[in-house]
Structure 1
Amino acid sequence: MTTLTRDDAATAGASRTVSGLLLALLSAVTFGLSGALARGLLDTGWTPGSVVLVRIGLAAAVVAPFGYVALRGRWDLLRANRGLVLTYGLLAVAGAQFCYFSAVGYMQVGPALLIEYTAPAAVVVWLWLRHGERPGALTLVGAGLAALGLVLVLDLISGAELNVAGVLWALGAMVGCAVYFVISADEDNGLPPLALAAAGLVIGGLSLGFLGLVGLLPMTATTQDVTMAGSSVAWWVPLVLLGLVTAAIAYVSGIAASRRLGSRVASFVALTEVVMGVLWAWLLLDELPRPVQLAGGILIMAGVVAVKLGERSLPTTPELPA
């Protein structure tokens, strides 16, 4: 009987890991589409604030009803976790996306993504300093492989000019991205993933709207057609895709993945967003990936596997303070 119980537990754990990886990849695929879509809007005169506000607003309108149902009237959960939810909405949702799109306005999408996705290293350091989860040898090897893979995917070995303002905005996006992974992985707060995503999107949208109303966040939009995949499409097409696909689906699947994998592994799997960003740029912006970039993608996946193997030897500790 004991053996059967252990086998069942192992099977359940493996199933949870597989589903977590699939959800993390879905999140990476959808998040990776945002840069290519936003670039087209920015090129026609949209400001980063306008793009992010519409994106988050649409996502909030879609996810909020599902979050309400998932909460099942347990409003005390939101009150008890109001600080956590506010931090998630302001930093992980509004802050990360606004900073990323601002960075893209100053520099190429590739270098901006590379800087933002130093977030997994920040997550490892946070867990080490806050919870004493010192990374093992395999985790460090995985981090190194992933970092090298990112350099190859973004083809930085040929030399890339970085704008200081763009770098600072990208670092801001990195902070928001790290907060996203750490908070998303916390299961102790009792908030259903849909409720957390909905609350974060609503708070993020309201905060951006307020900054726009008082004039602190420039809001400019146009109705000029956008070029995608060599064709002109109506301006609202990329906006709808940004809101429904790259925000609503991406955030919900990302939170669900982090709950299953933990913030460390989820953050490293999310590095595949960079690969997907390159592929989307190829399909929509006609930027063809080179063989060295494909090799980089393989290194990223190898790094993810190493991090996962390294995590098995670490003690289980809560991701966030109670």
Structure 2
Amino acid sequence: MTTLTRDADLTVSRPGHGPGLGLALASALAFGMSGSLARPLLDAGWSPGAVVTLRISIGAALVLPLGLRALAGHWGLLRRALPTVVLYGLFAVAGAQFCYFSAVQTMDVAAALMVEYTAPALVVVWMWLAHGQRPGPLTVLGAAISALGLLVVLDLFSGAQFDLVGTLWALAAAIGATVYFVLSADDDTGLPPMTLAAAGLVVGGVLLGLLGLLGLLPLHAVAGDIDYAGLDLPVWLPVVLLGLVTAAIAYGTGIAASRRLGSRLASFVALGEIIFAVFWAWVLVGQVPVATQLAGGALILLGVVAVKLGERTIEHEEPVLV
């Protein structure tokens, strides 16, 4: 297949940028709620496997009819795109979310997401290694600033003991997010965005369910009301919201945005998820980042902005066969 030439030059004007930006912000708003909805469930005794399996399964059930309708009987497209669908379900859906929920078990929601959102820099690295799109000096500087911000978020300079396990889970989630941005922007398969979202959610849900049935993934849930910032809610409500808002709506709008914007620009706009996550963490679980985390997050954002501005200077190249 060919490289994603839409990512080679962000200065190229393409239709759909306005709707694409709106969809990307809607996706960021929806995704940003996931950690704050999940954290009280985890604190109540739910396992990360149970939370993510229910979230993805509910999302799959809601999106599947829309995905089938969008496919319009063109089953050959789905068969040809099967490797992409499997990778998407494995890494972008099941892997990314399981790792993120595992991270927020021991880390603040915002801090875990700040670590995960080093993913845009990883997208640039992937486009360089896989497609020969060499980053410029400003891009390299931006990556270095983001790395510095990551160290500040993790509070390594103060000598404090940081959460190594949670950090490793968050970094693993960043890899899954990188796969999400790259595969979501790849329209070479011809799959409609909603079909890719539905198929990926189904693959991810089936995979997690099988691992649970085999005893390889703990699936532990607790009945009763769940406390959200002093308000007791029936347990079914956050579970349904996880599936409807943070899976069905988030993945559907996210893929549609990436098709219009490309993986680099979509991953840049998706940084708004950090801001939304800080807001939801404050509203739903009463978590407010400390000053060092906010400073580190600002450095990560600044670094990613520099990465994106650096990518604007890349000359448009002919597609490279890979």
Q: Which runs of 5+ in 2 are unaligned?
A: 1-11
| Matches of 2:319 and 2:252, distance apart in 1 | 19
| Matches of 1:202 and 1:37, distance apart in 2 | 22
Residues 19, 132 of structure 1: CA spacing in aligned structure 2 closer, same or farther, 3 A cutoff? same
**Equivalent residue runs for 1:185-196 within 5 Å:** 185-196=185-196
| Matches of 2:283 and 2:216, distance apart in 1 | 35
Residues 266, 175 of structure 1: CA spacing in aligned structure 2 closer, same or farther, 3 A cutoff? same
| Matches of 1:29 and 1:126, distance apart in 2 | 26
> Once the 2 structures are TM-superposed, how far is the Cα of residue 235 of structure 1 from its aligned partner?
0.5
> Once the 2 structures are TM-superposed, how far is the Cα of residue 173 of structure 1 from its aligned partner?
1.1
> Once the 2 structures are TM-superposed, how far is the Cα of residue 149 of structure 1 from its aligned partner?
6.5
Q: Which amino acid aligns with 1:170?
A: A
| 8 Å Cα contact 1:186-1:318 kept in structure 2 | no
Tell me if 1:179 matches 2:179.
yes
| 8 Å Cα contact 1:141-1:306 kept in structure 2 | yes
| 8 Å Cα contact 1:150-1:274 kept in structure 2 | no
> Once the 2 structures are TM-superposed, how far is the Cα of residue 184 of structure 1 from its aligned partner?
0.4
Residues 272, 157 of structure 1: CA spacing in aligned structure 2 closer, same or farther, 3 A cutoff? farther
> Once the 2 structures are TM-superposed, how far is the Cα of residue 268 of structure 1 from its aligned partner?
2.3
Q: What secondary structure sits across from 1:191 in the alignment?
A: coil
Q: Which amino acid aligns with 2:179?
A: V
**Equivalent residue runs for 1:259-270 within 5 Å:** 259-270=259-270
Q: Which runs of 5+ in 1 are unaligned?
A: 1-11
| Matches of 2:320 and 2:254, distance apart in 1 | 17
Residue by residue over 1:169-218, the C-alpha shift from the partner in whole angstroms, topping out at 9 and shown as x without a partner, is 22221111110111001011111100000000000000000001111000
Q: Which residue of 1 aligns with 2:90?
A: 90
> Once the 2 structures are TM-superposed, how far is the Cα of residue 152 of structure 1 from its aligned partner?
7.3
Residue by residue over 1:105-153, the C-alpha shift from the partner in whole angstroms, topping out at 9 and shown as x without a partner, is 2333233223222211111111011111112244345545666677778
Which stretch of the first structure deviates more once superposed, 19-28 or 187-196? 19-28
> Once the 2 structures are TM-superposed, how far is the Cα of residue 303 of structure 1 from its aligned partner?
5.5
**Equivalent residue runs for 1:126-141 within 5 Å:** 126-141=126-141
Which stretch of the first structure deviates more once superposed, 68-77 or 225-234? 225-234
Which stretch of the first structure deviates more once superposed, 98-107 or 134-143? 134-143
Q: Which amino acid aligns with 1:52?
A: V
Residues 293, 166 of structure 1: CA spacing in aligned structure 2 closer, same or farther, 3 A cutoff? closer
Q: Which residue of 2 aligns with 1:235?
A: 235
Q: Which residue of 1 aligns with 2:286?
A: 286
Q: What secondary structure sits across from 1:106 in the alignment?
A: coil
| Matches of 1:113 and 1:52, distance apart in 2 | 16
Q: What secondary structure sits across from 2:42 in the alignment?
A: helix
| 8 Å Cα contact 1:114-1:154 kept in structure 2 | no
| Matches of 1:211 and 1:315, distance apart in 2 | 46
Which stretch of the first structure deviates more once superposed, 29-38 or 99-108? 99-108
Residues 298, 113 of structure 1: CA spacing in aligned structure 2 closer, same or farther, 3 A cutoff? closer
Q: Which residue of 1 aligns with 2:218?
A: 218
Q: Which has the higher helix share?
A: 1
Residues 238, 172 of structure 1: CA spacing in aligned structure 2 closer, same or farther, 3 A cutoff? same
| 8 Å Cα contact 2:149-2:297 kept in structure 1 | yes
Q: What secondary structure sits across from 1:218 in the alignment?
A: coil
| Matches of 1:168 and 1:296, distance apart in 2 | 18
**Equivalent residue runs for 1:292-311 within 5 Å:** 306-311=306-311
**Equivalent residue runs for 1:37-116 within 5 Å:** 37-116=37-116
Q: What secondary structure sits across from 1:187 in the alignment?
A: coil
| 8 Å Cα contact 1:185-1:319 kept in structure 2 | no
| 8 Å Cα contact 2:32-2:276 kept in structure 1 | yes
Provide the aligned length of Structure 1 versus Structure 2. 313
Residue by residue over 1:6-40, the C-alpha shift from the partner in whole angstroms, topping out at 9 and shown as x without a partner, is xxxxxx94652222222111111111101111001
What is the Cα-based RMSD across aligned positions, in Å? Answer: 2.9
> Once the 2 structures are TM-superposed, how far is the Cα of residue 162 of structure 1 from its aligned partner?
2.6
Tell me if 1:276 matches 2:267.
no
Q: What secondary structure sits across from 1:77 in the alignment?
A: helix
Q: Which amino acid aligns with 2:113?
A: L
Q: TM-score, normalised by structure 2?
A: 0.86
| 8 Å Cα contact 1:131-1:317 kept in structure 2 | no
| 8 Å Cα contact 2:92-2:176 kept in structure 1 | yes
Residues 307, 22 of structure 1: CA spacing in aligned structure 2 closer, same or farther, 3 A cutoff? farther
Q: Which residue of 2 aligns with 1:36?
A: 36
Q: What secondary structure sits across from 1:232 in the alignment?
A: strand
Q: Which amino acid aligns with 1:241?
A: L
Q: Which residue of 2 aligns with 1:6?
A: none
| 8 Å Cα contact 2:121-2:304 kept in structure 1 | no
| Matches of 2:275 and 2:156, distance apart in 1 | 14
| Matches of 1:320 and 1:49, distance apart in 2 | 40
Residues 159, 260 of structure 1: CA spacing in aligned structure 2 closer, same or farther, 3 A cutoff? farther
| 8 Å Cα contact 1:263-1:319 kept in structure 2 | no
Residues 290, 163 of structure 1: CA spacing in aligned structure 2 closer, same or farther, 3 A cutoff? closer
